[in-house]
Structure 1
Amino acid sequence: MKLTVAICTYKRYDLLGLAIESLTRQTLPADQFEILIVDNSPSTENSQQQQASYTHLGNLRWVHEATPGLSNARNVAIRLAAAPLIAFLDDDAIADPAWAESLCRTFKVFGETCQVVGGQVRPIWGAPRPSWLGDELLGYISVVNYGDEARFLTGQEWVAGANIAYRTATLRQLGGFDVSLGRVGSGNSLMSNEEVALTDHIRAQGGRVVYDPVAAVDHLVEPARLRQEWFRRRVAWQAVSDRVRAATTEEGPDVERIWSDIKDFFLHTPPAERTVRALALHQDDPGRFRWQLATIYNFTTIMLSGVHEVDDD
């Protein structure tokens, strides 16, 4: 047993079936990896019914986890993993046939300092890509492509939780994912940063992150995520996630710079729109939309930081 492939799911059984099917087509022999489904859906009965559909797969285990939250579900998978490597695949992702085999090979080739491996994440557009969605924003929908060469990543580069693998022993040593971060339920909360926080801990201990272009997946971008209002919510929740993460390091925001950036946005907004409502107005121009999102992030950060300003007048 080389690899545990963990898929954490919540009431998305139709998509889950495609993810599991992609794992049945792997070049890595089925007796060298296990598929571990952690079903976080609320109904035990529905979960058992869905589990029955996969009894023919001898390398698949199905666990129903009642406590909600992606980080908690992933921690359950870490505790139950039977292999020295554990890979997390989103329930709406489809793995290339060489995905599992390439992950195992990359950990071996790059040696013990390689503690995290992530691969390409290619978008499956659930609706046409909007003209206002520039390449700079693709990270918010987990698109990853650093080219065709496997290599160690720098501290500023990241890999997506839709396609990421670790050494199981390292995750157990560090206590797994921070349950104060990450999504809960069907997505009313868009908390994130659970992989980033864990990777920071791993890097602090001398571990390194490797990008593996062969370990690629196709990942669904649902139509709801291709609306400007979703991106605004996503960015606001990113600010929340970053403040929660920063609280553990006692890092404070650069208040003067943030106020200056917010002011600059409004100064370049038409006078009739120069209110907080400008943060919710539709933007056709990709550059203007990025600026709006940056201002939402900054405004949320300032409010969460508990700043207190006194009017100079």
Structure 2
Amino acid sequence: MNPPTRQMNAIPDISVVLPTYNRSANLRRTLASVLDQRATTRRYEVIVVDNNSTDGTRTEVENAITRGAPVRYVLEPNQGVSYARNAGVRVACAPLIAFVDDDVCVDRDWIETICRAFEQHPDLDCVGGKVLPAWEAQPPPWLTRDHWAPVALLDFGDTARGINAENRLCLLTANFACRREIFERVGLFGTELQRVHDGIGSMEDHEWLLRFWAAGRQGMYVPELTAITDVPLRRMTRGYHRRWHSGHGHYFALVREPEFEASTRGRLFDIPAHVYRAAIQNAACWLVRLCRGDSAGAFLFETRLRFLMGYFRTRVADYIRPVRRPAAVLPRESEDPQRNTRVAPS
């Protein structure tokens, strides 16, 4: 199928926000997959948000625009993926807004599947789907589904599942869509917990979902909604996973998720008692498996300890030298002051 052409006066049914930073080669493939949708009557636009790239990103986007594709270029000078996504939301024209990352290729029915899910379930505020791997090489034996979080993979099976405050499944913005109006109720993506440059372990997706659940909103995991993400060799190393879990523990300490922070046995250094208990239990399990020669099993518990150590370091540092941090569930980010987002003429 030929890529859709730009219809200047038509309001799109769905806007696709694609943040990118210095991945022009990957961006070319991602754009091609979004534009190469199977026969559909849906009108859509793709908003590429350049987060200060220094490679050929703008040229890639301008080439697509020159070919008549329904693509817009936005420059977001504030560094960070949340700033980029928020910039895309602000300029989106459609009642539905989808998100995809610049190292992802979506299914050829992706647009149709999103629109159909919202039509069939008018009570839904967001949908998300599978993010499956395109391994650069055969993954090591220890890299099982227990270790999918650091490589941003997701698969909850082949059955649709409701997502709400009672069933808190975390979706990934690499393959995600929501109604535009939900941002007026829940707010934009928080910028205090975002990924910047090549930082890892961040929690901007999870924190937004915390506000989503707190607002009593409804989502759905749609198994037919499929995206494939690159998993490079560097993400298949134990060193990378150790760093990711340490970083994730740091961000988790900042977000102060209410259920995790609850404690019936008090706190020490502003850390709930159950966190100390979890650290002791995981350390014991790590040592037992290490003594048994179970390297893969030991590494699973090591990653949990890395997470807890990242959490401990941040929380103790804040206790000793208090720093103003985000609240447990960040307040709604209104039309925030980053007004220097630039949209290139198309």
| Same topology, TM > 0.5 | yes
2:48–2:61: 8 Å Cα contact kept in structure 1? no
SS of the aligned residue for 1:305 comes to helix
Name the amino acid aligned to 1:246.
R
Q: Does 1:109 align with 2:125?
A: no
1:47–1:64: 8 Å Cα contact kept in structure 2? no
Partner of 1:2: 13
> Aligned partners of 2:279 and 2:255: how far apart in 1?
23
> Aligned partners of 1:142 and 1:293: how far apart in 2?
16
> Aligned partners of 1:184 and 1:52: how far apart in 2?
25
Partner of 1:62: 73
Q: What's the RMSD between the two structures over aligned residues?
A: 2.8
Name the amino acid aligned to 1:79.
R
Deviation string 1:143-168 (CA, Å, 9 cap, x unpaired) is: 22222222313533211121111111
Cα deviation for residue 266 of structure 1 reads 4.9
Partner of 2:104: 93
TM-score, normalised by the number of residues in structure 2: 0.78
Q: 1:180 to 1:269 in 2, by over 3 A?
A: closer
Cα deviation for residue 27 of structure 1 reads 2.7
Name the amino acid aligned to 1:156.
R
Partner of 2:181: 169
Q: Does 1:19 align with 2:35?
A: no
Cα deviation for residue 259 of structure 1 reads 3.0
Cα deviation for residue 139 of structure 1 reads 2.5
Q: Does 1:259 align with 2:269?
A: no
Aligned residues: 296
SS of the aligned residue for 2:261 comes to coil
Q: Does 1:222 align with 2:232?
A: yes
> Aligned partners of 1:240 and 1:70: how far apart in 2?
18
SS of the aligned residue for 2:18 comes to strand
More divergent stretch after superposition (194-203 vs 175-184): 194-203
> Aligned partners of 1:225 and 1:105: how far apart in 2?
34
Q: Does 1:136 align with 2:153?
A: no
Deviation string 1:250-305 (CA, Å, 9 cap, x unpaired) is: 9367643333443455556779x99xxxxxxxx97221111101111112212222
1:134–1:286: 8 Å Cα contact kept in structure 2? no
More divergent stretch after superposition (160-169 vs 52-61): 52-61
Name the amino acid aligned to 1:33.
Y
> Aligned partners of 1:303 and 1:169: how far apart in 2?
38
Q: 1:227 to 1:17 in 2, by over 3 A?
A: same
Partner of 1:158: 170
Deviation string 1:92-111 (CA, Å, 9 cap, x unpaired) is: 11110111110111112121
**1:1-313 residue pairs with structure 2 within 5 A?**
1-27=12-38, 29=40, 32-43=43-54, 46-54=56-64, 55-112=66-123, 114-153=124-163, 155-185=167-197, 187=198, 189-246=199-256, 251=261, 255-264=272-281, 266=283, 285-306=295-316
Q: 1:78 to 1:248 in 2, by over 3 A?
A: farther
> How much identity, in percent, do the aligned residues show?
25
Name the amino acid aligned to 1:262.
A
Name the amino acid aligned to 1:231.
H
> Aligned partners of 1:216 and 1:250: how far apart in 2?
31
SS of the aligned residue for 1:301 comes to helix
1:72–1:179: 8 Å Cα contact kept in structure 2? yes
Name the amino acid aligned to 1:123.
P
Name the amino acid aligned to 2:14.
L
1:68–1:184: 8 Å Cα contact kept in structure 2? yes
2:202–2:251: 8 Å Cα contact kept in structure 1? yes
Deviation string 1:209-239 (CA, Å, 9 cap, x unpaired) is: 1011111011111111100011011101111
SS of the aligned residue for 1:128 comes to coil
> Aligned partners of 1:210 and 1:226: how far apart in 2?
30
> Aligned partners of 1:173 and 1:297: how far apart in 2?
32
Cα deviation for residue 58 of structure 1 reads 3.1
> Aligned partners of 1:270 and 1:209: how far apart in 2?
40
TM-score, normalised by the number of residues in structure 1: 0.85
Deviation string 1:97-147 (CA, Å, 9 cap, x unpaired) is: 1111101111121213x1110011110001211111122111322222222
1:132–1:284: 8 Å Cα contact kept in structure 2? no
Q: Which runs of 5+ in 2 are unaligned?
A: 1-11, 263-269, 321-346
Q: 1:225 to 1:30 in 2, by over 3 A?
A: farther
